[in-house]
Amino acid sequence: MATNLEGPCRGPRPRHLEGSQARNASRLDRGASPNPRGVLHIADDYTRQLQCLVHCLQVLYYLWICTDQHSVCTEIEHVGQLFDWKQLYFDLVSEQCIWDFKDLFLASAALFGDGPALIQLFGTDYAPEVVDLILKDWSRPCYDESSTMGLLDLFASWVLQTRLPESTMWLLFEHARALAGSVEHNDPRLMMSRPFIRWLLAKSRIELPGLQKRPDGVTLDDFDGLFIRQASHTTLPVFVPIRHAGRPDWDFFYYRTTPEQRRVAEVAAGAAHHIGDYGLQADALKLHILQSRDPRKLMDTLANLQLEIQGDREGYFATCLSRYLVATEPAEEVDLLRRLEKPGHGRGTFDFEQCHNASLVWAWSMIRVQLSCSVMENGSGTNGDGRGSSSIGAQFLEKGIRLEEWKLPSRIRDFTQYDLGIPI
């Protein structure tokens, strides 16, 4: 580990202090720093101000992924120029706000990209150098609960969301592994904390092998269709084929892992459930699903968690759409179509059309049309060899479903118009 900060070790912070309480407990009592270009003031409401900025970045990232990107380009450019990001980082270091820094960095990297975010905050996009700087600025000469857990959460989360080269991901992972080992040695009770569970997810994610090719050499690139980008960094595939009969099966999407590797995701899911963090539990279930040859039962478990317990309606929406890839039998298609036409029940009932994620609503419209036509053909006794052979564009136009063009990302608009032949 790189050189640690000078100064005495701070005593371990109570483990229940996480998030804003930990941030407040870690700040020094000094006045506001100079504010040369919109730098947030270090004051009593500093954490609240910074979390507002983080939420702003997260909302812009969501809109960038899920809607028309041109509608938020100006806002993204503006927020990138609004602050002196290097000064903001120096202020965070001086105040030892490790949790605030973690939130800000991850939100910036997601929105601007890893390279631009590194340049904004550190003046270089060379990730190994940045990792050394982070360790130098935030480490302690002996075990300190707050800094160790904050760094563990940072590196594990970065592994889960980064698009950096594989060598850099492994560098982050090895640092996270060392921090996890320190936690296990110094305070095993923290192995049931969010940062440690997130480290298990990072371990499960980075150790996934490459997707295997079919013996006949067919790959996903050989299928005509479109993958849907999602805002969450741990996702199940949502794929809209041009023709129902031409969709890939689940064999193209699941990772052939060992029982020991699958066990990591299982342990993470159980630990997350134990501490009541259903978001982490959902992510662990997704990683388990991606390693399962037949994920139907796990998908049911995830869907129930999202809709009935977590209240994550958009997550439930995406899980239903992912089930399209495993609904290979006529009865399964009927059941999935029923879910897509009458989603939820009881307090979980909601209208998919009212989802804010325009990309998922578009995929829902396309897949529902495909399933509806397939179910009708099966019910009318149509020869199965021709099932779903007509293009989705013809089926879509026949049903007269309308799309709101202005909400859709350009890649979906282009695919809809030029590949599917649907005017919007």
Residue 31 has pLDDT above 50, yes or no: no
Model confidence, pTM: 0.84
Q: What is the pLDDT of residues 80-115, one digit of tens each?
A: 998 899 999 999 999 999 999 999 999 999 999 999
What does the pLDDT average to over 318-343? 91
In the numeric block, the tokens 């927020």 are attached to 79
Instruction: Tell me what percent of the residues of the chain surpass a pLDDT of 70.
Output: 81
pLDDT-wise least confident of 48-62, 156-170, 226-240, 366-380? 366-380
- pLDDT of 285-300, one tens digit each? 999 999 999 999 999 9
**CA 424, CA 421: separation in Å to the nearest integer?**
9
Task: Give the domain ranges of the chain.
Answer: 20-206, 220-419
User: What's 39's DSSP letter?
Assistant: P
Query: In this predicted structure, what is the pLDDT of residue 396?
Result: 62
What beta strand segments (E) does 215-364 contain? 225-227, 239-241
Residue 342: which pLDDT band, with cuts at 50, 70 and 90?
low
pLDDT at 66: 85
Give the pLDDT confidence of 355-386 residue by residue, as tens digits. 888 899 999 999 999 998 888 887 754 444 44
Percent of the chain with pLDDT over 90: 60
Between CA 252 and CA 70 the distance in angstroms is 33
Residue 226 pairs in a beta bridge with: 240
The answer to which of 21-25, 62-66, 67-71, 230-234 has the lowest mean pLDDT is: 21-25
Name the pLDDT band for 401 (thresholds 50, 70, 90): low
CA distance 154 to 415: 37
What's the Rg (C-alpha) of the chain? 24
Cβ within 8 Å of residue 313, ≥6 positions away: 306, 307, 344, 348, 350, 355
